[in-house]
Every structure is written in C-alpha cells, then in structure tokens.
C-alpha cells in the first residue's frame, strides 16, 4: 500500500476583495457559491496552485514560470521531454507536483491529434469562506486622471467604483501521494511551501490577504480517503474548532496516531477533544506541525 498525505488548512481572518478582476457594472465581484444553504465566497484551486507555483520558482527551476513584466508564462521545456518512455532529463518540480497537459491537433484530416498529460499528484480543493458572505460592498472613487483611460475626455471628474468585500477566513484541502512523484522528496517541499503560501488570487494590489495557514491538520495514512477536508468550523469570538474531526476519531474512522495538528486550533481544544486526540501530535505552531509531518515522510522512506 502507498502512503497518502492529506491536509486541511484554514487561514487567519482577512479582508478578501476583487480576487478575479471581473465586474458587474462598476462593481468588482467576488466568486461565490451556496455552501450549507448560504452564500459563501470562494477562491479557486487554480489560484492556489498558481500561488504555489510562484513559490516553487523560488526553490528551484520550474518548467513554467510567470514573467511579471511581460504578464505571460515562459517555458523551459514546452515539449515535456522529461516524460515518456525515454525521458531525457529529471522532470521539473512543477510538472512533477502539479501535472500538465499539452494537446496538439491533427496535422491532416483523418489523422488523430496527440496529447501529453500528467495528472496532478498534488490535488487542491476550492477554498471556501468559513462564514457566509453578508453582502458587504464599499463604494470608492479613483482620483481624476488616475489612469490613462481615465484621462480620456475631460478627465476632471473622479471615477466611482464599488468593491464586494468579505472579512473572513478561507479553508481548503490538499491530497498527495509521495510515491507517485518522480522525486518523492518533493512532497515535503510542497507541504512546507503550502504552510508559507502568502498572497493568493491577485487582488489587483488593492488588498493583501494572507493565505498561509493559521491552523492546519495533516493526516498521513495508508487509506486513500482523506476524511479531513473542510473540517474547520467557526466558533464565537472568531476562533475555529474541529468537532467533526474529533467525532471521526472517536468513531474509529480516523486513527488519532495518523494526525498532526498545528496552530491556533490546538490552543483552543477542550479537555474532551484533547483526550480523543491523545494519540495525535499537537503543536501550537503551524511550522512545527509541518516539520513534524515532513519528519514522518522522511521516516516512511526508511
């Protein structure tokens, strides 16, 4: 059997706004979905993956890199020559973790097209706000002539615009099977960078939202089912709790010894929850929990 690594992550509270750059009229909007019967805001898995890819570029060369000045991606190996029956080199870390797809159409009628595809080994869920969106919108005005487009015409009036906002936390999850990687040690790199992710989803520089975890739950197991995704719940006063996780441990669905918890959620655990999680590793810090999970990965290789 293979070792599987799952993580449930929740951010600190921040002000989310304008994370796609789309508008309805002059209102910049947030993405939303109906979650447990109420409207919540959401951030796509693609945005989280893009932010992680930016961090991976700081660690080692990536196949795909984003050029901020050109505002486009550049490729080191667009042919993905490190993959296939006769690989020519060690694969880049982003291709190994995040996968790829390169499709080419048929050159002549009647022929088949081709595609090089690698499914992502590191899978990421969509991030969902921990609290419902209350409908907050701010109305603002850019100063006259603040942008070249605003200078067209008379350019003497302020430019009004509105922004949907949400003061909330976001939670999401990841799944990873280290043995499916060409370089299994990269699993630890992925966990470490996810625990220090930083900004996600652009926000046009108007709002900074820290997407690093305030609390995290890792599960290292031989079971293929995560069972810990979206496990965080808000509590009065602004904290978070994991009652469903505790219930599953008590019920025998998740062995406590497979868990590593870190961050503010640990400090908020009551006596009953601590007793149920007595076989788990509990750390007050997210970094310490991440290091513990990485040590378990290293021990598994031996």
More confident residue, 62 or 158: 62
Residues belonging to the chain: 302
pLDDT at 152 over 80: no
Listed residue (188, 42, 59) closest to 125, CA to CA: 42
Q: Of 85-89, 124-128, 183-187, 226-230, which range is least confident?
A: 85-89
pLDDT at 265 over 70: yes
Q: Of 56-65, 160-169, 244-253, which range is least confident?
A: 160-169
Question: Rounded mean pLDDT of 12-40?
Answer: 84
Q: What pLDDT is stored for residue 237 in this prediction?
A: 87
Q: Is the pTM of this model over 0.85?
A: yes
**pLDDT tens digits for range 75-110:** 999 889 898 777 777 899 999 999 998 877 767 777
Question: Rounded mean pLDDT of 194-223?
Answer: 85
**pLDDT tens digits for range 246-261:** 999 999 999 999 999 9
Listed residue (173, 217, 195, 224) closest to 4, CA to CA: 224
DSSP secondary structure letters along the chain: ---EEEEEEEEPPEEEE-SS--EETTEE---EEEETTEEEEEE-HHHHHHHHHHHHHHHS--SEEEETTTTEEEES-TT-TTSSSS--SPPPHHHHHH-EEEEE--SSTT---EEEEE--SSEEPPEEESS-----EEEEEEPTTSSTGGGSTT--S-EEEEEEEEEE-EEEEEEE-GGGSSSTTHHHHHHHHHTT----S-GGGT-----SEEEEEEEEES-S----TT--EE-TTS-EE-HHHHHHHHTTSS-GGGEEEEEHHHHT--HHHHHHTTTSEEESSHHHHHHHHHHHHHHHH-
Q: What pLDDT is stored for residue 134 in this prediction?
A: 96
Q: What pLDDT is stored for residue 102 in this prediction?
A: 83
Pairing of strands 137-142, 213-221: unpaired
CA angle (178, 182, 188) in 5-degree steps: 40
pLDDT at 154 over 70: no
- The answer to whether 200 and 9 have CB atoms below 8 angstroms apart is no
pLDDT at 203 over 60: no
Q: What pLDDT is stored for residue 153 in this prediction?
A: 58
Which residues, 6+ apart, have CB-to-CB distance to 26 below 8 Å?
A: 160, 161, 162
Supply the mean pLDDT for the chain. Answer: 90
Q: What pLDDT is stored for residue 20 in this prediction?
A: 57
Question: Rounded mean pLDDT of 228-245?
Answer: 96
Give dist(CA 51, CA 287) in Å, integer.
19
Q: Of 14-18, 50-54, 57-61, 257-261, which range is least confident?
A: 14-18
Terminal-to-terminal C-alpha distance of the chain: 15
Report residue 208 as tokens: 């900074």
- pLDDT-derived band at 204 (thresholds 50, 70, 90) equals very low
More confident residue, 31 or 121: 121
Highest mean pLDDT of the ranges 28-32, 80-84, 138-142, 285-289:
285-289
For CA atoms 293, 274, 211, 31, the dihedral sign is positive
Q: What pLDDT is stored for residue 116 in this prediction?
A: 86
């Amino acid at each position: 059997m293979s070792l599987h690594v799952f993580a449930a992550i929740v951010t600190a509270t921040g002000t989310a706004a304008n994370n796609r750059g789309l508008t309805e009229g002059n209102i910049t909007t947030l993405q939303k979905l109906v979650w447990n019967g109420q409207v919540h805001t959401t951030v796509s898995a693609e945005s989280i993956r893009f932010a992680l890819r930016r961090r991976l570029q700081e660690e080692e060369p990536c196949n795909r890199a984003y050029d901020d000045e050109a505002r486009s991606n550049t490729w080191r190996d667009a042919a993905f020559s490190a993959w296939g029956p006769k690989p020519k080199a060690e694969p880049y870390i982003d291709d190994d973790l995040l996968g790829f797809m390169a499709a080419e159409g048929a050159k002549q009628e009647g022929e088949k097209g081709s595609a090089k595809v690698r499914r992502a080994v590191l899978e990421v869920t969509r991030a969902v706000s921990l609290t419902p969106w209350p409908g907050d919108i701010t109305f603002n005005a850019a100063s006259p002539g603040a942008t070249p487009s605003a200078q067209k015409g008379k350019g003497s009036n302020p430019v009004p615009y509105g922004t949907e906002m949400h003061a909330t936390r976001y939670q999401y999850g990841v799944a990873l099977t280290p043995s499916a990687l060409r370089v299994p040690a990269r699993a630890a790199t992925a966990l470490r960078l996810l625990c220090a992710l930083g900004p996600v989803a652009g926000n046009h520089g108007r709002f900074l939202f820290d997407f690093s975890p305030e609390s995290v739950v890792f599960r290292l197991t031989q079971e293929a089912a995560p069972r810990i995704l979206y496990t965080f719940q808000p509590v009065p006063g602004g904290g978070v709790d994991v009652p469903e996780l505790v219930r599953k441990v008590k019920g025998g669905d998740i062995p406590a010894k497979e868990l590593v918890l870190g961050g503010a959620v640990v400090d908020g655990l009551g006596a009953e929850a601590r007793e149920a999680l007595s076989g788990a590793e509990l750390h007050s810090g997210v970094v310490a929990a991440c290091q513990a999970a990485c040590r378990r990965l290293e021990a598994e290789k031996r």
